[in-house]
Structure 1
Amino acid sequence: MKLQTQLTIAFTTLLVIIMSVVSVMIYSLVLDVLIQDEQDQLQEKGEILVRFLLSEANVQSLSQWLGEEDLQLFIYDRDQEQTLLRTSTLPIDLIDYWLENYDLTSEEQPLWKAGDERYVVSILSIYPELLNRELVLVTPLHDLQEVQSNFFYRILIIFLIGIVIIVLLSHFLTNRLVTPLTKLRHQLKKIEKRQFDDVERVKATGEIKEVEQSVTDMASELQRYIQSQRQFFQNASHELKTPLMTIQGYAEGIRDGIFADKESERGLEVMVDEVARLKKIINEMILLAKLDSEEDIYKKELIKVSELITLTVDRALPLANEKKVLLQHELKTDATIYADREKLLRAMMNIVTNGIRHAHSCVSIKVTHTVEHIQITIEDDGDGITEELMPQLFQRFIKGDGGETGLGLAISRAIVERSKGTITVGQSDLGGAKFTIKLHL
């Protein structure tokens, strides 16, 4: 069943239930209101009748007025214990039954019964200071029930018209709600088939707009990921193929006697270097794969930031001295973080040594903190990073001029993200690159 049909049925069912409950409440409430109103009217008519009885109006006028008002009543004399006056529509045995079963002195009277019939009752005392008589006026309840039924039928017709209107309106609204979802489903089919260039934006509002934006962002990210994976395999094959071809060339030359004596020794040295380079690439690829998939490879502990920076500087200082680059650092906090010491030190070393290789004269490490974060900034005064390379700098086998394997920054990003942090790159005021690492305290 389609979502639009399900929503329409759900709205209609809910509406019918609510209207049914309201109808039952109105039906019973209307009867109570009619009974109260009828008692008030009987009270007014009874007061008029009492004035008639105490006036000099003749019996004919009284009978005419009773006929016009269609009243059913009787007058009971408590002293004589007899009925003095009654309308012809009330049998004397019925009046006697009422007198035996109901208390005429009570202010609140229930509905009086007579077989299956019930009556609304109003009782007035006739000059209680002089006479001990009660005027009792009654009205059959079925007259009020007919009014109640007529009113209920009209309400029911209004409800039915309202249901039809609301069903049409709900169908229109659910159509507006479901149509963007249907279009979004078609776009997801295109994403499933990797037809990213054919993905179109869907007009929507509210939460559906947010979902549509998320789908669009997902498509862009998925397209970028597929392209990066494709580029990764191309770069990986190139990076692995180059040392293998070098090793193969020298090995075949030595085997065939092309290289001899010093050339053979030189070839063996190149082969050893290329094997070491190949081993480094493979080890870094394995580390990246483990960082992406294995949970137990990352062992967290409390680390002092000052200790992390000191270890980084101590290990990077020989390379800085060799390159004649000034390595300076500034600490404005002695906070602790929760991370893997060796992994995070490796991430720092990858970034710092990358800065030393590209710097002209200095590399700066600065540590600051906020209420929630530690911020480590690493800058150099080199030539910087081009705008085209910057968005993909942390991808695998992406390297700038003078890069080694193209995996160092990718490993650094993976380690920082496993530490629940972020790493970004930009242009430094010193002229080179500026790497910013944010870690939670």
Structure 2
Amino acid sequence: MTHPPTGLGPHGGALTGVKVLDLSRVLAGPYCAQMLADHGADVIKVEPPAGDETRGWGPPFVAPDTSAYYQNLNRGKKNIVVDLSVPEGRDILDTLLRDTDVLVENFKAGTLAKWGYPDEELRRRFPSLVHCRVTGFGADGPLGGQPGYDAVLQAYGGLMSVNGEADGPPLRVGVPVVDQVTGILAFSGILLALHERHRSGLGQLVDCTLLDTVVSLLHPHSASWLADGSVPRRTGSAHPSIAPYDSFAAADGPLFVAVGNDRQFGALTEVLEVPALAEDPRFRTNPDRVRHQQELRAALEKAIAARPRAELTAHLTARGIPASPVHDVAEALTAPQVRHRGLVVEDGDYRGIASPVSLSRTPASVRAEVRGAGADTRDVLAARGFDEEAIEGAVGRRVVRSAGTGGEA
């Protein structure tokens, strides 16, 4: 998989011609907008004078005030700095919205309304606008408007309760999975709304919350509770309803084995040279194996412990049994299949992760440049009809910031 050269102009992706205004910060919103940019949309990121706080979420830093965290969520976007808390800044926003297809924002619920943009006003003034709102808990209800970070929603939404070892405390999933999946769902919702707009000519609100995301991620635990009222328990790496589906210590490191059916279990016992386990009444079917999971694990541990994981993985996968060494991040990002898929992007000084959405005819094209705060303020405003005097006046009054006037990043 190859990636065209760096650049901020149209590149023929599936979303070429779609104009996006990204008012969001931190993770879910910026990740959604970056995916739109990867697929050809013209994305303008609007930062407040204080900047997106993730610019300072480091080390590591790739520039004096740009963290690696920020860089990997904001490539391919033009960047302007506008103070939306003042009326003149909102006048600029008003002008930008007239030529915008998609608005992505994650302000605290009620902020846009306070600034004169309640939902009904956006609909009235910009009827074709697709407005994607990302919040923690939604705009209304008992917790409506309450801010939420990924880990807080993992706790509130039950995800943390099922993550961790059986005899240990609840644990946060080691990546911000709720934020990232919310970004992907926001991307999907925007595409649905743009598709529907071709028929109706109208935009609509794409309402994404971290709460909705985390509850949707609870399967199969939510299915179990809804079926019989049983509260799921933590099982470490094991699966609550499939066995064996767990991590084991091989001779040279951890190995994960996932057996999804009885045929695979029989093949596993042959590879491990313990065929009697397949005939043991405790392990003949998956329900049997789940009921006797601890005894099964003990028997398999002995057979796996003496085998190198690369050799064992090769034998298992040759028999159709999903298995893999448990890679650390460095091992994962240098794995041959990861490199073959083009998932690691290296373009000059930029290193990041490619778009996870692959299209055959209009593939994603990573425009690797990450712009400094305010790098495109003058150009964007000039393209939207502001003359030089108006732009310089806004810069002088600190309504906007431009690179070269204290805006370098």
The structure with the greater share of residues assigned to helix is 1
TM-score tier (shorter): under 0.3
TM-score calculated relative to the size of structure 1 = 0.18
TM-score calculated relative to the size of structure 2 = 0.19
Higher relative contact order (CA 8 A, sep 6+): 2
